Amino acid sequence: MGGVKVKEETAEILRLAKEPSLQSFGVVIAFMACGYGAAVYSEDSSVWQLVYVISGLFVGLACIEDWEYCDFDRTTNQLRQKRYTVYDKIFQLFTTSNDQIVVSGLSDIVGVEVEEQNVRYFGNTYQTVMVYDTGIRIGVTESFIYGNKSDQEAIADKIRTFLKLDAQPGVTDGDSSSSEGEDFEHVDPEELRDDQDQPQ
């Protein structure tokens, strides 16, 4: 399956994309070949032979992975996630509308993690997930992806760096020490020595 790739990376823009892999298009060719083979060796009418070929094409197209885009934009402080099926791509030739767009604020993201899921007999899959301050978790991709975990961790690191999540302001050790020190009354060592010298 196709992994997440960096399409554009600047100081203001980070665009990630997951697009169909070559294997997906190979599946389309395989189903078309099956349909064509059924048509060639069939003794049915030419209409049915055409149906076999078209059916193979549509089944193959249904197996193609989706196009998924994740755009981080500092200028608008927005994250826009877009998802297209192969049929959406075809319809885009005739219209520019797309309802499968999710928009959220960059400032609402408080963390980025890589989740792991085990698929029996097939191995592990991974998904880069953004954690929001409301507790909601939204994946960069809709589904888990086969591949190396390090690839997903590299994407997660790019998102953290772009959002500067590793440099978020917080209470440092120095601030904590100074705050604790303010809770105690300052005593002059000379006054303490004079109190000890006074007769009981």
**Which of 36-50, 54-68, 87-101, 105-119 has the highest mean predicted lDDT (pLDDT)?**
105-119
Q: What is the DSSP letter of 99?
A: -
| Inter-CA distances, 86 with 58, 75, 178, Å | 10, 31, 59
Separation between Cα atoms, residue 127 and residue 177, nearest integer Å: 39
- Can you name the CATH fold of 4-21+65-168? PH-domain like (2.30.29)
Element of type H or E holding 152 = helix 149-163
Give me the pLDDT at residue 154, please: 92
Q: Return the amino acid letter for 155.
A: I
Give me the pLDDT at residue 2, please: 58
Give me the residue label for tokens 């772009």: 162
Instruction: Count other C-beta atoms under 10 Å from residue 129's C-beta.
Output: 17
Separation between Cα atoms, residue 189 and residue 185, nearest integer Å: 12
Give me the pLDDT at residue 161, please: 92
pLDDT at 136 over 60: yes
Instruction: Note whether 52 and 33 are within 8 A (CB).
Output: no
pLDDT at 88 over 90: no
Give me the residue label for tokens 């076999």: 52
Give the model's confidence band at 57: pLDDT under 50 very low, under 70 low, under 90 confident, else very high. Answer: confident
Whole-structure pTM value:
0.68
Give me the pLDDT at residue 52, please: 86
Give the model's confidence band at 183: pLDDT under 50 very low, under 70 low, under 90 confident, else very high. Answer: very low
Q: In the beta sheet, which residues pair with residue 17?
A: 5, 69
Separation between Cα atoms, residue 188 and residue 179, nearest integer Å: 20
| Inter-CA distances, 22 with 3, 27, 126, 175, 195, Å | 12, 9, 20, 54, 85
Q: What is the DSSP letter of 133?
A: T
Count of CA atoms in the C-beta half-sphere (13 A) of 57: 9
Give me the pLDDT at residue 97, please: 60
Give me the pLDDT at residue 28, please: 83
Give me the pLDDT at residue 179, please: 40
